Amino acid sequence: MSQSPNRLVATIFGAVYTLVGLAGFLVTGGVPFAGREGELLLGFEVNPLHNIVHLAVGIALLASSRTVASARRMNITVGAVYLLVGIIGLFIIDSEANILALNGADNVLHLGTAIILLGVALTADKAAADRTRTA
């Protein structure tokens, strides 16, 4: 793997989100698929839908980590989506719209993930991104 902050971050976050998605299925056996409340996993509430989202995000990040350009694009995409989810999550915790069983810890994690992914994607690997645009 070349020395690329975007590839490294996509790999690390991809592995973590994939593992969390898989681990979530160990605790959500009796939880409704898209229930407002879930079971706790490391302080985060999860339900089966939430686990599937974690798996999808993790696999997408891992798959994108093969090249700098794809990792950077995926870091921007996932970072922007998580920023949106983190903000929306603040308003839907106690509502019927909370189909991912989000809690306060989830919102902090989503906003933190967004800041890191977007920060790396928008500041690192500028030379590689410029080469991709001119090629």
Percent of the chain with pLDDT over 70: 92
What's residue 3's pLDDT?
82
Residue with tokens 């694009």: 73
Confidence of residue 1 (pLDDT cuts 50, 70, 90): very low
Say if residue 74's pLDDT is above 90: yes
Predicted confidence (pLDDT) at residue 96 exceeds the cutoff of 50: yes
pLDDT tens readout for residues 28-38: 999 999 999 99
Whether 57 and 78 have beta carbons less than 8 Å apart is answered as: yes
**What's the Cα-to-Cα distance from 24 to each of 11, 36, 77, 128, rounded to whole Å?**
20, 15, 23, 36
Boundaries of every domain in the chain: 5-126
pLDDT value at 43 more than 70: yes
For the chain, the average pLDDT equals 93
